[in-house]
Structure 1
Amino acid sequence: MPRPEVAAVLSYLESRPPAAPPTLPEMRAQLVASVAAGDLPAGEIAVERALTIPTRAGTVPALLLDARAERGDGPVVVWYHGGGFVTGGLDTHRGFAAEVARQLDLPVVLVGYRLAPEHPFPAAVEDAEDAARWVASRPDGLGRNADALVLGGDSAGGTLTIVTSMALRDRPAEVPVRAQFTIYPATDLTRRYPSQDEFATGRLLTEETRRFYYAQYDPDIDDWRASPLLGTLTDLPPAVVLTAGEDPVRDEGRAYAAALISAGVPTTFLEAAGHIHAFVLMRQVVPSTQDDLRRAFRALTTTLEGR
């Protein structure tokens, strides 16, 4: 059952008059508008700097956010935003990335990878890996040197977190990946999971919208970069996996955490009971979201401290 705050949000959404299916530009604009209405603002942040990251296909935009104006060498968080590989960007996730920077007391590079259908699979995967390698290369534009990476992401960005962790395990970057933090990721497109049927309708992410996103992204479902559960998980960096209890992709996140543990990877699994997909962008309309996130941030801090 959804928690009361979530039930109120779902009731409001269901009460709105029916509308024609939005076009893709409308979907992207609607996400921006919903974040402005439902999420918290970025708040106090000492550093906010636009970046341009070189990739194998050209460049992608990024945003450096840091709660401290001055900082020495240390870990840098590379964050990949959610949005089904089709929507989302620096504007939708700026506020949440600022919160990541404050909660972890680490600089965050929010990556604006290419979106489908203009750039289908594996464009986002390539951009995610290239951005992490660029941060690890100690570029002048970053204004500080990374001595380690922390990879993180929500939804589609959670999947990119996993596959980038795998890519950098197989061909290491200039600095190591200390941890991965993945929030409600999709991890296996080759089989059907019970949560996909259980929450096919009546939630923010439905089976219809999930299928729409993948039709735009057009992945090879048998490729580990689209279905990372098909890949080798041994020797991946320690993980914090956070799922939503009322989410079609819940069981994929659970399966990933279980597979990591079976592979001997230190893993903390957490679930936001009664919550729905995309909750990192609902911190204002569902205030209890902050409690779920604080638990995950504490777990990640403990992981980084090696406790």
Structure 2
Amino acid sequence: MPSVLSLAVNHLVDSGVPTVVANGNGYAGPFNAAAPAAADRAIAVGSTYSSRYPFLAFTLDDGSTAPVPYLDSGRAPAAPVTGAHPVTVMESSCAPLPAGSLDGKIALFAHYTGTDVFNCRVMDLARTAEAAGAVAAVHYDPSGTDPDAMPFSPCCGTIGIPVVGIRARDAERIKAAPAGTELTWGAYAGAPMTADAAGLMDGASSWGPGNELEFKPDVAAPGGYILSALPPAQDWYGVMSGTSMATSTRCRRSTPPSPRSTKHWAIRRFVPATSASARMRPPPSTSPTRPRPTTRPGSCCPTASRCWSGCGSRSSTPVTR
């Protein structure tokens, strides 16, 4: 039996209000469309991976305009979206530095590779920089196994200044820059997604069919790894994923031809005509044995020039007049 939410959405659509619902996250596979996306008349939206992975980034005044992408540590305040400070190289050592030696500066350091690595991890190095007055810390992996690899969230503990990880090749660029080079927050960079992910269904997106074998989701859109605005308490910007990200759409104010065809009229109106999802199914039939005429706009005609041939049957096909 449909959930109360699904029944409510069906009634809402019957009243002439197109309703777009995220299909749900985390349970890919049959029969996992969440309510109210499982409602027959809801436009359920699944998530695909975007074509590029977005990164927040910073720039350098070293004569190059190329942004430097980074990953936040997740263990410190997020990097700011504005502001500039000089960046300086700090030795990869957890030995205390003179007080004030890094005042107002951003410290760049490599991961410690000595014998006592468990007592001098990334966050320990960052706390050493903070104690010397640094306003932020930038770390990288000097191992050289992959100069394009982005360091993941470091261990352990928390800190009071932003800590971000960058690629080894970007660290070499900073080290080669003139003394006093400034780092400016608030840029953006993107890297192409791999061919086995770009444009394909997001592994975290729920799929269908529904419990009554209805086709779900009705449409899919990029929702995996989207650069998004965030509340101020979460530092304004970040990379988010999920069917909620895919569901954000831009709709025009308009009126469907009839309540019964609201869902399919909305799909055809708001999804590009080149998309296969725009042609998934004909409008629902109110009288399966009595096809409606196709000579005038109405509940079977999304526009004055587009009507449905044999609108009353499930085998209806769109025709252009």
**Shorter-chain-normalised TM-score: which range?**
under 0.3
Q: Which structure would you say has the larger Rg? A: 2
Bigger proportion of residues as strand = 2
Length-normalised TM-score, structure 1: 0.21
Bigger proportion of residues as helix = 1
